[in-house]
């Protein structure tokens, strides 16, 4: 799998160190609050597991499976929710976890749906935030790393469901995504 990469963008020690910092910020902000984490699947699962083990607060956890890439390297422009029922968050403080803020479409759609459930608040935490213009208004309250507009894999991020298990973030060689 490493041979499919152009370069390693963020190595495992850097990711783990940044998770410590994110956990510290989140712990401070959510101390004493009814707190629900909603992880967006499948991309955020590794990020979620490693981050939540660092947060020493009582919390509830739920997951939403949504997609907008559908196997390609660019968003299709359509966000698909793969479940009918939304998590029970009325009156609770919600932290949405996602692997990457790219086009903004997924986070904007999920945030809007969660707001319909009348939470006390909604914040967003992403592992990666691309420096680029977004198709939809979305931003993160907590960001692991800002990156350029490159197609990345690893640490939960995939290309056609592959590479999620890499312990670092890498840039996929362009020829790996050509049909």
Dist. CA 170–CA 15, nearest whole Å: 12
- For 53-96, the pLDDT digits (tens) are 999 999 999 999 887 655 555 655 677 776 767 788 999 999 99
Distance of CA 29 to the CA centre of its chain: 19
Dist. CA 70–CA 5, nearest whole Å: 21
Q: What positions carry a catalytic annotation? A: 102
Reported as type and span, the H/E element at residue 168 is none
DSSP tag of 103: S
CATH (one of 3.40.50.450, 3.40.50.2020, 3.40.50.300, 3.40.430.10) for 12-147: 3.40.50.2020
Distance of CA 24 to the CA centre of its chain: 18
- Domain ranges, ordered by start, for the chain: 12-147
Instruction: Specify the pTM.
Output: 0.90
Reported as type and span, the H/E element at residue 129 is strand 121-130
- For 113-162, the pLDDT digits (tens) are 999 999 999 999 999 999 988 877 889 999 999 999 999 999 999 999 99
164: number of Cβ within 10 Å:
17
Classified as helix, coil or strand, 83 is coil
């Amino acid at each position: 799998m490493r041979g499919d990469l152009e370069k390693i963008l963020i190595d495992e020690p850097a990711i783990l160190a940044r998770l410590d910092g994110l956990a510290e910020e989140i712990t401070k902000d959510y101390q004493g609050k009814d707190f629900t984490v909603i992880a967006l699947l499948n991309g955020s699962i590794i990020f979620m597991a490693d981050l939540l083990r660092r947060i020493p607060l009582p919390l509830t956890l739920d997951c939403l499976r949504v997609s907008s890439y559908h196997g390609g390297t660019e968003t299709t422009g359509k966000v698909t929710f793969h479940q009918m029922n939304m998590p029970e968050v009325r009156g609770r403080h919600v932290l949405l976890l996602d692997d990457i803020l790219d086009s903004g479409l997924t986070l904007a759609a999920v945030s809007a749906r969660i707001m319909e459930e009348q939470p006390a608040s909604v914040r967003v935490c992403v592992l990666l935030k691309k420096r680029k213009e977004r198709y939809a208004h979305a931003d993160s309250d907590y960001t692991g790393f800002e990156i350029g507009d490159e197609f990345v894999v690893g640490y939960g991020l995939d290309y056609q469901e592959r590479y999620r298990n890499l312990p670092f973030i890498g840039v996929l060689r362009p020829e790996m995504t050509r049909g």
